[in-house]
Amino acid sequence: MNQVFRYLKAIGFGEEGLDIKKIVRDIIKTPTHYHEFEEEDNFKRVEYYKEFGEGFGLVVRGEKDDDNWLNIFSMAPYAQGASAIESYEIEMLDEEGETGSALCEEQHSGTLFSFYLQNLSDWYALHDEDKEEYGNVSLAGFSINGMVIFPVCNQQDGQEQKLKEAVLNTGLLERARNGDELAADELAGNAKELTRYLYERIQKEEILTVLREYFYPLTDTDDIYSVLGEIKEVKILTNVLTNKSFYCLDVETMGIHINVYINREDLVGLPTVGMRFKGEAWLHGGLS
Q: pLDDT tens digits for 252-266?
A: 988 889 999 999 999
Check whether 50 has a pLDDT greater than 90. yes
Q: Between 232 and 84, where is the model more confident?
A: 232
Contact 231, 269 (CB under 8 A): no
Q: Between 144 and 160, where is the model more confident?
A: 144
Q: Side chain identity at 274, as an amino acid letter?
A: G
Q: Count CB atoms within 10 A of the CB of residue 2.
A: 5
* 166 and 280 part of one domain: no
C-alpha–C-alpha distance, residues 221 and 105, integer Å = 17
Q: Which residues constitute the domain of residue 38?
A: 2-79
The pLDDT of 218-235, averaged and rounded, is 88
* 196 and 165 part of one domain: yes
Burial class (CB in 10 A: 0-12, 13-18, 19+), 68: exposed
C-alpha–C-alpha distance, residues 21 and 188, integer Å = 50
Query: pLDDT category, 153, cuts 50, 70, 90?
Result: low
* 225 and 277 part of one domain: yes
Among residues 33, 64, 79, which one ends one of the domains?
Answer: 79
C-alpha–C-alpha distance, residues 78 and 285, integer Å = 9
* 253 and 123 part of one domain: yes
* 238 and 141 part of one domain: yes
C-alpha–C-alpha distance, residues 43 and 51, integer Å = 26
As for how many domains the chain has, the answer is 3
Q: What count of residues does the chain have?
A: 288
* 40 and 182 part of one domain: no
* 97 and 231 part of one domain: yes
* 19 and 106 part of one domain: no
Among residues 174, 208, 242, which one ends one of the domains?
Answer: 208
* 8 and 71 part of one domain: yes
* 67 and 89 part of one domain: no
C-alpha–C-alpha distance, residues 276 and 34, integer Å = 37
Among residues 35, 51, 79, which one ends one of the domains?
Answer: 79
* 194 and 234 part of one domain: no
* 51 and 175 part of one domain: no
Q: Between 182 and 76, where is the model more confident?
A: 76
| Cα 123-51-42 angle, rounded to 5 deg | 40
Query: pLDDT category, 233, cuts 50, 70, 90?
Result: very high
Q: Between 244 and 136, where is the model more confident?
A: 244
C-alpha of 130 from chain center: 20
Pick the range with the lowest mean pLDDT from 2-6, 75-79, 87-91, 233-237.
87-91
C-alpha–C-alpha distance, residues 99 and 118, integer Å = 9
